Amino acid sequence: MSTAETDAQIINPDMPDVPPHAPSKINLKDYKKPSFDVETIDLDIKLFETYAQIDSVLKMVRQTTGDLVLFGEDLELLMVKMNGSQLGTEDYQQQAGKLTISDAPNEVTLEIQVRICPQTNTALEGFYMAGSGDDTMFVTQCEPEGFRKITFYPDRPDVLAIFTTRLEADKRYPTLLANGNLVEAGEVTDEPNRHYAIWHDPTNKPSYLFACVVADLDVLTDSYKTSEGRNVLLEIYAKSADIDKCDVGMQALKDAMKWDEVNYGRAYDLDRYMIVAVSQFNMGAMENKGLNIFNTACVLSSPETTTDARSFSVKAIIAHEYFHNWTGNRITCRDWFQLCLKEGFTVYRDQSFSADQQSSAVQRIDDVATLRAHQFSEDAGPLAHPVRPESFVEINNFYTTTVYEKGAEIVRMIANTLGQEDFRKGTDEYFRRYDGQAVTVEDFLSALSITDNKIEDFIDWYRQPGTPVVSGHQNYDSATQTLTITLSQQTRHVSGFDAPKPLPIPVATALFDKDSGNIIAERMLLLDQATQTFACEDVASEPVVSLLRDFSAPVQLNYDYQDEDLAFLLTHETNGFNRWQVTQMLVNRILLQGQGSKSSPDVYLQALAQTLPRLAADDAMLAARLLDIPSAQELASAINKNYDPELIKAQREALYQQVAEALKDQWAGLYEQLPMQSYEDSADARGTRALRNVVLDMALTANVNGAVEWAEQQYNNASCMTERFGALKAMVNHQVTNADEYLADFYERFQENDLVIDLWFSVQASADTVSTDVIQSLLEHQDFDWNTPNRVRSVISAFSSQPTVLWTQEGLEIYTGVIKKLDDANPVLASRLLQTLARWNTLVEPRRQMAHNKLLDLQKHAASKHVIESLESVLKA
Ligand code: ARG
Ligand code: ZN
């Protein structure tokens, strides 16, 4: 709250009971077409030592009646001309981030001159400087509403225009990039130290896809010939010290280009595709037309410095941004409520791409684990919102796992319901019909319905918040040889939304013969009412039913399984995902014993002991996943009251210990069976490394003789970061005697590499043994940097994975202190960090009250509309 607002309250004690200057809400139902379109925009961006000057020329044409509205934030307006004549302040209104011209003629040429200050822009939105001292570069981030921080513009996704961009800067920044094709470059007349480049983008695009870069970077070059015969120049720009870490990304880019041609018939449409790596970035990456900008963490990869998990996600993110070229850029969103239209579909596409690069079961496991840990808990708490929200204050707050991951799950259900062939016909129709337009979720569903309109009911999945719970049981009648499966669905009523209605829920099901272990029938049950009974005939004896195979819908499943049924499925399921899913069910039953479940770990431990040796040899990565115990956050997401972090932690650790000890005799054999080999980036090699790290940790947990030496040797002889970091992490978590020396060695070895130093911070901040003193000292470390989101997250997000420390007086003091500190400087980051605290209301007392007080205190200081909106939601719990 600024002092001005506080004063207003004092002066007028009769003010209504709403927060002063409550930021205003934007509603989907109020959508109106823009009154003017932009045909072309010519931008001239001149970067100087302490500021940038932006000159723009907009050719605009009236579409409907109404004012001509431009958005602008943090801009110093120097001049505005309409159709050649300069406008005075009486000719337009300027307030609340808008510049409005009433009674504008039908054809308008606007010339606008503004000044901005990228050098002091810490929000990392708009045009900003990254780096410091002699090592600086300038990049843009315009999605969703950053372009209005560059110049006045109808900055909304349904205004599409042709951009021409001239960039001018000092020659110490040789790299001048913008969207499209390079038209011209040269020296600035009479200014020997300055040069310029002119770029032209032939595609009509919304302003959120604008990008430019002014920097001193090296470039890795390659090329790709599209299925349409176009030769595309591929470039990845990075600092010279990082250019050797761009090959993985380049290969992934070529793989993604090919994959989209084969699977969706989509070829690339420009002659050039550029990726730029920047170390200060709020998100993972951004799909700007022909000029992606990437967080270094999401594009750089090398065996020595990058873990397998990270490297795999680099490939997925490269593919994700590339796929946006069709799902997002060529067909874009009409308004920001439709964000899931591009994000949900694109996440589905990148998940499918990744599933082709490794075992599809493991891919599904990882995607579902993320969904359960983050999206389910979002849906269970006060930040629950529909995949397509209906109102927002700050759209940045809605780049959520609900929009992205649940959005992808809806597309997956639709694809599975249609079947491969009809889904492809539907997507072909979508691209045919809407290419070059800004559209809605309804448009998407209507195109996909071309072969069959059975998927139109899926619209409710976009409108209704909350995770459906599917409960069920079975009945076998031996006289008629009929199995009946009764399923029902229930979704909690989220306040502020209509009462939930039944959704179409595809439940992929298989029946297993108990004697032979073989599948006797496979069915896709469509549950689209509150309760339904499905009959299967000619079933000779009561089978074991495997449900929700491959996680055919994003729901919680509550089936009246016997532990023995789950153990049976762990052994006999052919669907790798479901083998994992049943282990997770068993684990959950054991952990939730206090809450009425009577499962003993024996069945689970026995099944594991039987399964593991074979599986370790066949599919090491899947074997590693079968030893997963859900994270503390995932377990917490299922608890709505009296959540006790200490209890959950103790239960998790006890079960982990039990597993480690029950299989104690196996660890040495397994570890030997998985020797370290020279580095290879194949699914098998990655599986071996993943399982070896799990086995090492288990062996340390069970105090297996020699395990500490295994860890030390693995660290010292590591061929890659997965091995080295796996060993380090295990040593830190188990507090082995020399852990500190290894931490120091790790720091020494990699101190020049920011991304590895992020790992160094996070392994300490997320350690099972972390304390607030450790966190405090990490925040005070000379390498800690408030201006680099990766570094902030490497401590703060890492530490929030330890709920027993987070939800304490000191833990919250630190955590909310960080939010306060970033609120003004980087509200997007501050607000995202805040969202982690959403489930405070489920805590056991006195933690709950303490957390509430801390949040109320934070509210007194909240400044940005990002944080104000998130706090208001979080506190309404
Ligand atoms: N469209 C980007 C992606 O998912 C995300 C950019 C979001 N940026 C933001 N500041 N909210 O690929
Ligand atoms: Zn995206």
Residue 7 has pLDDT above 50, yes or no: no
**For residue 125, how many other CB atoms are within 10 A of its CB?**
25
Measured in Å, residue 368 CA sits from the centre of ligand 2 at 18
Question: Which residue is it, tokens 């039990």?
Answer: 658
Q: Is the CB of 143 under 6 A from ligand 1?
A: yes
What does the block give as tokens for 274?
């550029």
**pLDDT tens for each residue of 23-39:** 789 999 999 999 999 99
Tokens of 336: 């920001």
Over residues 391-416, the mean pLDDT reads 98
637 pLDDT exceeds 90? no
Nearest CA to ligand 1 atom 8: 143
Ligand 1 contacts CB of residue 350 (under 6 A): no
Q: Does the Cβ of 325 fall within 6 Å of ligand 1?
A: no
**Ligand 1 atom index nearest CA of 286:** 2
What pLDDT does residue 593 have?
66
Whether 828 contacts 124, CB under 8 Å = yes
What ligand is nearest to the CA atom of residue 144? 1
Tell me the two tokens of residue 345.
Answer: 């579909």
- Write the residue with the smallest CA distance to atom 11 of ligand 1: 396
User: 321 an active-site residue?
Assistant: yes
Q: Give residue 597's pLDDT band: very low, low, confident or very high (50, 70, 90).
A: low
> Does the structure show a pLDDT above 50 at 195?
yes
Is the confidence at residue 289, as pLDDT, over 50? yes
Q: How far, in Å, from the CA of 408 to the mean position of ligand 2?
A: 11
Model pTM score = 0.96
Q: What is the atom index within ligand 1 of the atom nearest the CA of 328? A: 1
Pairing verdict, β 212-215 and 68-71: unpaired
Please report which ligand is nearest the Cα atom of 349.
2
Predicted pLDDT at 21: 54
Average pLDDT over every residue of 769-792: 98
Cα 260 to averaged position of ligand 1 atoms, centre (Å): 21
Q: What are phi and psi of 61, to 5 degrees?
A: -130, 135
283 pocket-lining for ligand 1 (C-beta < 6 Å): yes
Helix (H) or strand (E) holding 427, with range, is helix 420-434
For the stretch 51-61, pLDDT in tens is 999 999 999 99
3-class SS shares of the chain: helix, strand, coil, % to 5: 45, 25, 30
802 vs 771: CA distance, rounded Å: 9
Given this model, what pLDDT does residue 6 score? 35
Q: 2 pLDDT exceeds 60? A: no
pLDDT tens sequence across 371-403: 999 999 999 999 999 999 999 999 999 999 999
Q: Ligand 1 atom closest to Cα of 343? A: 4
- pLDDT for the residue numbered 20: 45
Q: Is the CB of 321 under 6 A from ligand 1?
A: yes
Q: Give me the mean pLDDT over the 501-520 stretch.
A: 98
Asked whether the beta carbons of 155 and 89 are under 8 A apart, the reply is no
The structural domains of the chain, ordered by start, are: 38-216 (2.60.40.1730), 217-333 (3.30.2010.30), 337-466 (1.10.390.10)
Q: Which residues contact 765 (CB under 8 A, 6 or more apart)?
A: 774, 775, 778, 794, 795, 796, 798, 799
Q: Which of 139, 143, 341, 831 maximizes ligand 1 atoms within 8 Å of its Cβ, making it the mutation to test the pocket? A: 143
Q: Is 396 in the pocket of ligand 1 (CB under 6 A)?
A: yes
For 657-704, the DSSP string reads HHHHHHTHHHHHHHHHHS---S---SHHHHHHHHHHHHHHHHHHHTT-
- Do residues 193 and 171 lie in contact, with contact meaning Cβ atoms separated by under 8 Å? yes
Could you tell me the distance, in angstroms and rounded to a whole number, from the CA of residue 94 to the centre of ligand 1? 29
In DSSP terms, 648 is beta-bridged to none
Ligand lying nearest the CA atom of residue 345? 2
Quick count: other Cβ atoms within 10 Å of Cβ 111?
A: 17
Q: What is the dihedral of CA 456, 457, 463, 465, to 10 degrees?
A: -140
Q: How far is the CA of 342 from the centre of ligand 2 (A)?
A: 7
Ligand 1 centroid distance, CA of 613 (Å): 43
- pLDDT per residue over 445-488, tens digit each? 999 999 988 899 999 999 999 999 999 999 999 999 999 999 99
Rounded Cα distance between 43 and 601, Å, is 66
Percent of the chain exceeding pLDDT 90 equals 94
Euclidean distance between CA atoms 777 and 784, whole angstroms: 10
For ligand 1, pick from 207, 283, 339 the residue to mutate: most ligand atoms within 8 Å of CB.
283
Please, what's the b/e burial string for 368-385 (b: 16 or more CB within 10 A of its CB; e: otherwise)? bbebbbbbbbbbbbbbbb
In the block, which residue shows the tokens 């933690």?
847
Report the separation in Å between the CA atom of 73 and the middle of ligand 1, taken as the mean of its atom positions. 19
> What's the pLDDT at 296?
98
How confident is residue 3, by pLDDT bands cut at 50, 70 and 90? very low
Mutate to test the pocket of ligand 1, among 286, 293, 833 (most ligand atoms within 8 A of CB): 286
Indicate whether residue 316 lines ligand 1 (CB < 6 A).
no
Give the contacts of 579 (CB within 8 A, at least 6 positions apart).
361, 569, 570, 573, 611, 622, 626
Q: Which ligand is nearest to the CA of 209?
A: 1
Residue nearest to atom 3 of ligand 1 (CA): 286
Contacts of 432 (CB under 8 A, 6+ apart): none
Catalytic residue, candidates 73, 125, 321, 409: 321
> Across all residues in the chain, what is the average pLDDT?
95
Q: CB of 357 within 8 A of CB of 254?
A: no
**b (16+ CB within 10 A) / e for 538-562:** ebeeebbbbbbbbbbbbbbbebebe
Angle among Cα 747, 691, 737 to the nearest 5 degrees reads 40
**Confidence class for position 592, pLDDT limits 50, 70, 90:** confident
